[in-house]
Amino acid sequence: MIFGQSVVVIRAGERESRAGDIVADWSPSAVTRRLIEGVSVQPNFQNEDTDAGGITRSTGYRVLTAPGATPDIRSTDRIEYRGEVHVVSGEVAFWPDPHGADHIELTMTAWKGA
């Protein structure tokens, strides 16, 4: 089944900075976590960079929701998949369908190493 996977959307809370601005709060007690079921997670890219600091590996996945599903996922969210936290890369794309099968698509990336 193509839409048989799930991810957890992690959304930052908000706090006031010392300058009085409202900023994202990624502390464990401030974030919210929501399970999103019925998605397809597909490998999108793998990359390895080497520099004086060492080796950095990045992995990207494309996430598609099932037809008719448009969960609230934002470009500022983080996504947990298979125990690893990814950032949303770019904007979340909304795909309208005149027959009611709207869905969303996004790319997420995780880095390891230096």
Q: What is the pLDDT of residue 12?
A: 97
Domain count, the chain: 1
List the beta strands (DSSP E) in 12-114.
13-16, 22-25, 32-51, 54-65, 78-81, 84-95, 103-113
Structure-block tokens of residue 102: 């709207």
Name the pLDDT band for 106 (thresholds 50, 70, 90).
Answer: very high
Domain membership of residue 98 as a residue range:
5-113
Residue 93 has pLDDT above 70, yes or no: yes
Domain CATH for 90:
2.40.10
- The mean of the pLDDT values for the chain is 92
pLDDT tens profile 38-78: 999 999 988 888 877 788 888 999 999 999 999 999 999 99
